[in-house]
A and B are shown apart, each in its own frame.
Chain A
Amino acid sequence: MAIKARKNIYYLVRLLLWVGLLLPFSGHAEDYSFNLDEFEKKNFSWGGYAELKWDHNWINQSGTFGLLGFHDNPRAKLDRLTSTVQLDGNYNKGIVDFNWLLQASAQKDQVDAEQNLDVFFAYASIKPAPSVTFELGKKTYKWGKGYAWAPVSFIDRPKDPNNPEDALEGYIGIGVDLIKSLPGTLKTLALTGVLLPVFEDVNDDFGVKNHMNLAVKLYFLYRDTDIDFIFLTGDSRSTRYGFDFSKNLATNFEIHGEIAYIPEQKVKTLNSSGSLENREIAVTSYLLGLRYLTANDITTILEFYHNDAGYSEAEMGQFFQLVSDADTLYNSTDDDSLFQQAATISKSGYAKPQVGRNYIYTKVAQKEPFDLLYFTPGITTIINLDDKSYSLSPEIVYTGFTNWELRLRYTQISGDRYTEHGEKLNESKLELRGRYYF
């Protein structure tokens, strides 16, 4: 009897095991339900993200910008917490659309705290026909084909090559967009014109006030190549000309390039007596890049950037020397006047990212290597080719939770004394960012 009972239990267990094993496969037909109602078009739509970022900075205490920022309160480390909310939206009424993108952020570290509320864009667009659009309001244009830099982006704020995909604040203008599709080798022809006023409280950081400026972009899709001719004129900034292109050479290989020519560019450089000197020079800036995808899903973006308006090693050396002199004076006499002078001069351009003349940017990322689901490791390098200094940023991005993106990034900034990266504020940085999209 006991043997029979044990046998029954044995068979029951085997049956349950089989059922258990088969269950995942028994419903072979996947659940492909699709309720379209929730995706019906609405007049009003909105979305955005909320982000929390923590970064730990190892300060380059003997570097130019470390001294400039912390000479009166030296510190080796700085922790910063930043929270950001970005809201985008659209309201549609017939042929008129209103679009907006707002960003609010709050930042706090052991030294300072800061809050910002920015309207990145807010404009109305009127479309009497698919080929004609009028736009009025604040907008980002993002002209150019470069990933890390965009020398022909004449009416946009400069990108941050460390975060080139982040949104940028636009400018207020009136625009028209005309598109014509054609049969044959010239497939598309498009003309974009933007009138950009610069007055008190209207685009006043764009250039000289009380002037109207005109920017024009003529786009061709010719023989499977994107081609743009770009032009900016007006008295707020000097006249400039641009050209860019982009083309796929193979199913996994894209090339792009940009060139900008500014016949009369005003540049400010520090002279040997420690004061800023204005001069006007003809400037050519250009960029050549490629994007390549390997069979094992590794994407490489490589760009070479040259900027005639950038500082030479000697010009940057003048500024580094000024701060070094300021430090000597401060340590011996407590007089910080030279530091104050250097701080003012740094705002003219020396404190901006990538202020040199020749750079190589490389980003290599692989999707889900070694079957690590939702993980995308990558590494970004920016090398100043003139002084051989560089930044190196390995990172890992995880997108395993729907609508969440987590990124861990470490940046090592290296270079000899009196080189661009050798004098940066940080020696290295660790950054953890969580972003939730809604």
Chain B
Amino acid sequence: MQVKTYPSSLKALFFILLSINLLTLTLPGKASALDGTKILLQVDRNLNPETYEMYRKLINIEPDGTKKEFVLYSVKKGQDKMVALFLSPASEKGRSTLRLDDNMWLYIPNVGKPIRITSLQSVVGGVFNNSDILRLDYSAEYDVANITEEGDLYLLELKAKTNTIAYDVLKMQVDKKALVPTTIDCFAASGMLIKTLYYKEPKDFGNGIVRPSVLETDSPLYKGYKSAMVYAKITPKELADEVFSLNYLSRVDELR
């Protein structure tokens, strides 16, 4: 048997290259952050098209089991524009909310003018707050701070881009195959868990959109309460930018 020997300088070079290779595999460096960003962008696109209209039902379930239901029509355009209009119940009908970046407004027909609201308020009560109801793309509000794998899941740690975002950190579990979230833990800047979101019941909405049709949430701050969003229709829709303005808020129903 012939044993091939290498000169010592070549051995040293091989060792250095191997070490670099091992380091890039073990350290969460720039390459894996980029992968996380790509995954997050894909998660956003799998959840909904960039510009769309949507019908959903919001259900607040009280500790005694009683339910309050709201039906909303929403349109979203690009990374930072969204409007939601209440279709039911009668006491809320005609109310509409607008989000432009971190700005949010509520229009109540009786009041007759839009008023600024904050993301931590809730126009419907229950566990969902305004930022949940008027959620923009995750990648618009968060950077991927870390990504790891665990079985069939990617575990993404997301950090808010600014301090005006409702949750400072999200810990998102993403189904590797479907590339949609399964569970998201939402944390305040203090590290306190504010709520957990559960994406459930995948459904084909047409136009290539296959995504969970139910989003449930609970919160240690609202013990015994549960809220859910049920998605019935998500379709791509062309919309003018001007639709997302205060002057248009009283006319959102005309988009349907």
Report which A residues bind B (CB closer than 8 A): 24, 30, 32, 34, 36, 39, 41, 45, 47, 49, 88, 90, 92, 97, 125, 127, 129-131, 133, 140-145, 147, 164-168, 177, 179-181, 187-188, 190, 192, 219, 221, 224, 226, 246-248, 250-254, 256, 291, 293, 299, 367-368, 371, 373, 399, 402-405, 437-438
Q: In the complex, how many angstroms separate the beta carbon of A370 from the nearest chain B beta carbon? A: 13
Q: Which one of B18-26, B27-35, B113-121 contacts A?
A: B113-121
Q: Is the CB of A32 within 8 A of B247?
A: no
Q: Which residues of A contact B101 (CB under 8 A)?
A: 187, 224
Apart from A24-B65, A125-B251, A254-B117: 18 A-B pairs, beta carbons within 8 A: A32-B59, A39-B73, A39-B88, A127-B251, A133-B251, A142-B112, A187-B101, A192-B247, A219-B247, A221-B245, A226-B116, A250-B163, A251-B119, A252-B120, A256-B116, A373-B62, A405-B91, A437-B93
Query: Complex Cα distance A130/B255, Å?
Result: 10
CA of A164 to CA of B111 in the docked complex: distance in angstroms?
Answer: 8
Q: Is the CB of A402 within 8 A of B62?
A: no
Q: Please, which residue of chain A has its CB at the minimum distance from the CB of B213? A: A32
**B61 with A251: CB separation less than 8 A:** no
- Interfacial residues of chain B within 99-143, with CB under 8 A of chain A in the complex: 100-104, 108-113, 115-121, 125, 131
Interface residues of B in 47-67 (CB under 8 A from A): 55, 57, 59, 61-66
A interface footprint on B239-256 (CB within 8 Å = 1, 0 otherwise): 011111111100101101
A170 CA to B171 CA in the complex, in Å? 50
Closest-CB distance, A295 to chain B (whole angstroms): 8
Report yes or no: A130 in contact with B240, Cβ–Cβ below 8 A: yes
Q: How far is the CA of A129 from the CA of B247 in the complex (A)?
A: 13
* B87 within 8 Å of A (CB atoms): yes
Are A165 and B65 in contact, with the CB atoms below 8 A? Answer: no
User: How close is A126's CB to chain B, nearest CB, in angstroms?
Assistant: 12
Query: CB distance B115 to A253 under 8 Å?
Result: no
A252 touches B121 (CB 8 A): yes
Expressed in whole angstroms, the Cα–Cα distance for A190 and B101 within the complex equals: 18
B68 in the interface, Cβ–Cβ < 8 Å?
A: yes
Interface pair A291/B247, CB less than 8 Å apart: no
A-B interface, 4 closest residue pairs, ranked by CB to CB distance from nearest: A181-B241, A142-B113, A130-B240, A437-B91
Q: Known: A41-B253, A165-B111, A293-B118. Is A130-B248 also a contact (CB below 8 A)?
A: yes
Q: Is A368 within 8 A of B112, CB to CB?
A: no
Q: Indicate if B214 sits at the interface (CB-CB under 8 A).
A: yes
Q: How many residues in B have their beta carbons less than 8 Å from beta carbons of A? A: 63
Contacts of B256 in A (CB 8 A): 41
In this complex, what residue of B is CB-closest to A139? Answer: B112
Q: How far does the Cβ of B232 sit from chain A's closest Cβ, in whole Å?
A: 5
Residues of A near B251 (CB, < 8 A) are: 97, 125, 127, 133
Known: A168-B112, A179-B247, A299-B121. A39 touches B71 (CB 8 A): yes
Query: Are A221 and B233 closer than 8 Å at their CB atoms?
Result: no
Closest CB in chain A relative to B122 CB, distance in Å: 8
Q: Are B214 and A32 in contact (CB under 8 A)?
A: yes
The answer to whether B89 and A88 have CB atoms under 8 Å apart is no
If the complex has contacts A188-B246, A291-B116, are A36 and B55 also in contact, measured as CB distance less than 8 A? yes
A and B contact pairs by CB, cutoff 8 A, 21 listed: A39-B71, A49-B91, A88-B94, A90-B253, A130-B240, A130-B243, A142-B112, A167-B112, A179-B245, A179-B247, A181-B244, A181-B245, A187-B101, A190-B246, A219-B246, A221-B103, A224-B101, A251-B166, A368-B125, A402-B89, A403-B89
Q: A92-B254, A251-B164, A252-B120 are in contact. Are A403 and B91 (CB under 8 A)?
A: yes
Give every chain A residue within 8 A of B88 (Cβ-Cβ): 39
Q: In the complex, which residues of chain A have a beta carbon less than 8 angstroms from the beta carbon of B87?
A: 39
Interface centre among B87, B112, B121, B131 (most CB of A within 10 A): B112
Q: Bound state CA distance, A192 and B94, in angstroms?
A: 22
* Distance in angstroms between the alpha carbons of A402 and B63 in the assembled complex: 17
Please tell me if B209 contacts chain A, counting CB pairs below 8 Å: no
B160-181 vs A, CB cutoff 8 Å, 1 = contact: the mask equals 0001111000000000000000
A47 to B62 Cα, complex, angstroms:
27
- B153 interface residue, CB < 8 Å from A? no
66-81 of chain B: CB within 8 A of chain A: 66, 68, 71, 73
Complex Cα–Cα for A180 and B243 (A): 10
Q: Which residues of A contact B248 (CB under 8 A)?
A: 130, 179
A220 to B230, CA, bound (A): 36
The closest CB in chain A to the CB of B110 belongs to: A167
Contact of A30 among B59, B73, B244 (CB under 8 A): B59
Closest chain B residue, CB of each to CB of A144: B113
Contacting residue for B90 out of A90, A219, A438, CB 8 A:
A438
The smallest C-beta distance from B254 to any residue of chain A, in angstroms, reads 6
- Name the one of A24, A92, A181, A404 contacting B242, with C-beta atoms under 8 angstroms: A181
- Do B116 and A246 touch (CB < 8 A)? yes
In the assembled complex, which residues on chain A have CB atoms less than 8 Å from the CB atom of B73? 39
Whole-angstrom CA separation of A299 from B240 in the bound complex = 34
Contacts of B102 in A (CB 8 A): 224, 248
